[in-house]
Amino acid sequence: MIALLAAACGGTTTPSTATTSAPTTTTPVESAPLIAAPTDERFEVVADGSNGPTARVFVSYPRVAGADSFNDAVGEDVRAQLDEFNELYIGDEPGGVAIPELNVSFDYLVASGDVLGVRLESYEFAGASGGTSWRTVYYDAREGLVRSAIELLTGEAAFTELVAVAQTELSDRGFGPSPNPGAGAAVRNYDSLAFLANGDLLVEFDDYQVASGGDGRVAFVVEAATVDPWLSDFGRRVQAQVMSPDGALTLPTAPPTTAAPPTTTSPTPATTPPATTDAPTTDPPPTTIPAPGSGEDVDCAIVACVALTFDDGPVASTNRLLAILAERNVQVTFFPVGSNVERNPDIAAAAVAAGHEVGNHTFDHVDLTTRSPDIIREQMQSTQAAVRAATGVTPTLFRAPYGATNGDVAAFGLPQIMWSVDPEDWKDRDADIVAQRVLAETDAGEIVLLHDIHPTSVDAIPAILDGFAERGFTVVPVTTLLGGDLTPGEVYYRR
């Protein structure tokens, strides 16, 4: 009937081997039942981030044309987390060795017929230890309503049965006191519910909610036959679409929403990367393609060169940046987030086809210095695979999120590209200010850090290119600027 599972945070989840009187399902569960990211134009990614002296934040969340109330609900959820995090950490004096971090990511659970569902994942690192929380948000396109996880169930009686099942399972396996207060009859304790492809219901708890941090992620699966009498009409529709998707999501025809992303005081807020069997020793050799007109034949020992680099995309505003660069016949270097490459593979492919250089910026934009070697490798390898699948090119360069690196990061074996000019475009969303800072701080040989997720940074590019031209600078990709033959693991800030 039920299987409980627990795993170390970020690791592989395996069924518990503890003895129990309850029959268990044999369905292996390693994560939420995620689906491939929809890539039609209605599905956009909102990404934002910042790198302040007291906190680091990156958020990535969905926006779907025709589902305005869903967009509002998800945006408000992320905004509430940002506000709470900012109140705790932004503006404090720097202290301690590690900097607090908030990372919010997402994956789709269902996007078919008249139902839409996403799983938001939030990782918060307070400077000593970190924890992850999950919640699922659904949209009922038939009624035009946002639905919480608990609305998959038919009412109080069904919820009471679910709580009883949870308490029994947690007690049998020794997680916390009995009854476990973290699994009590409060809706907030059951905010992450999702169906598996066989119709079973996955219930997952946040880190530290029902067990100690050392126990890792705790979740249980209830078989479809047991769940069946608990389900609401909406829950049955979600279950049916997960088990046998109709195909495209049916939504009212509407132009893309234009709601502003949440604004952070300093940092801003993405997803657990898919498991990968790639290993550094088995990856195909990294490949690059010539960049037409980019200065591959330019000798930056003679010519006054600069490199423009763009982090965190690709997103919708990346398309506009590509058009500006094409008009000027300029090639740059992109450091995309792997999860955004998976959701926008056509944009990544367009960047490579235009001759731009594409590096690796991890899958979820996480601070790697607070992660284990296994998670570092997973973040890196998943991004290598995502870029290769979208573009046919395997990145040969790496940029650490927040510029945070150590020996474990260097051990992956890619040259590490930092920057020498940072206009802090995440702080001041003003194209004129960004352009002025770049032009004031840039000399020949510099590597400039920008973010294509910020429309204001894209707006600043024409003025930046005009200013560089007036000063006789040639804009080239990073590899050209540095002269090629870069050392694996070595850190580069400028020529």
Catalytic residues, by residue number, are 311, 451
User: In DSSP terms, which residues pair with 136 in a beta bridge?
Assistant: 119
Contact 309, 451 (CB under 8 A): no
Task: Give the HSE-up count for residue 284: Cα atoms under 13 Å, Cβ half-sphere.
Answer: 11
Task: Tell me which DSSP letter residue 286 carries.
Answer: P
User: Locate tokens 């990073």: which residue?
Assistant: 478
Number of Cβ atoms within 10 Å of the Cβ of 156: 9
Contact 67, 139 (CB under 8 A): yes
Quick one: CA torsion of 35, 40, 41, 46, rounded to 10 degrees? Answer: 20
In this structure, the strands spanning 201-205 and 357-358 are unpaired
Contact 119, 105 (CB under 8 A): no
- String of DSSP letters for 194-237: EE-TTS-EEEEE-TTTSS-GGG-EEEEEE-HHHHGGGB-HHHHH
Cα–Cα distance, 340 to 143 (Å, whole number) = 30
* Residue 324: strand, helix, or coil: helix
Cα–Cα distance, 113 to 244 (Å, whole number) = 10
Burial class of residue 77, CB neighbours in 10 A (0-12, 13-18, 19+): middle
- Give the angle subtended at the CA of 368 by the CAs of 364 and 369, to the nearest 5°: 155
Which uninterrupted H or E stretch holds 295? Answer: none
> Among 406, 412, 317, which residue's Cα sits nearest to residue 359?
412
Number of Cβ atoms within 10 Å of the Cβ of 452: 30
Contacts 24+ apart (CB under 8 A), 322-325: 322/347, 322/350, 322/351, 322/354, 322/356, 324/458, 324/461, 324/462, 325/354, 325/356, 325/461
CA 380, 381, 384, 385 torsion-angle sign: negative
* Residue 159: strand, helix, or coil: helix
